Structure 1
């Protein structure tokens, strides 16, 4: 019994960004929408998707040419290997590598979930910001 509870806590802690995104959707769908809360939840969820969501690294290996299958954190951070650590983040700033970054963003189920979550979080944050500016 205690083992199952511990496992559930670990899973909830590992995927907290998806719960925050669900809370942001709930805030948006509520009758009395608090824009500041929606903006905060969306920003937190976006940061989680970009830098903490569990997925595979997918950096190209020099030894066998296959993509790296080590665990990584977020859409923009690689695995524990120094060469892979910041490779995805560097791709954002090089226009020639955007296509490769997009391919990596759709490479696995975890990456697909994080990509969809990041797009949704970003759209929610932009909508909350625009609403906040218009109401001010």
Structure 2
């Protein structure tokens, strides 16, 4: 298992998911849900670009730090997004994509751990 290659693929998947979320902005019926979707999609876009760059350069510890950042912020986003305050037609898609992104990066941390990279110490 090549950790950097998997991380590169995972970042590309996250980049595609952030583009999908950016494309669904006009479908939000609630202005607060629109800003919420915009925030998570831009965060996912920026961290995907960082993940691609770090994976391409072979900087494993920075990929691990990026994975921890993504997991923590996206998990908090999921916790906030389930509230009825952010009801919108895009909510099921947002929850599905952010859930997949969280699982992808947990798998990436497992692969890093198997590759003997320090995942709990940076």
When normalised by structure 2's length, the TM-score is 0.47
Q: Relative contact order (alpha carbons < 8 A, sep ≥ 6): 1 or 2 greater?
A: 2
Structure with the larger helix share: 2
Structure with the larger strand share: 1
When normalised by structure 1's length, the TM-score is 0.43
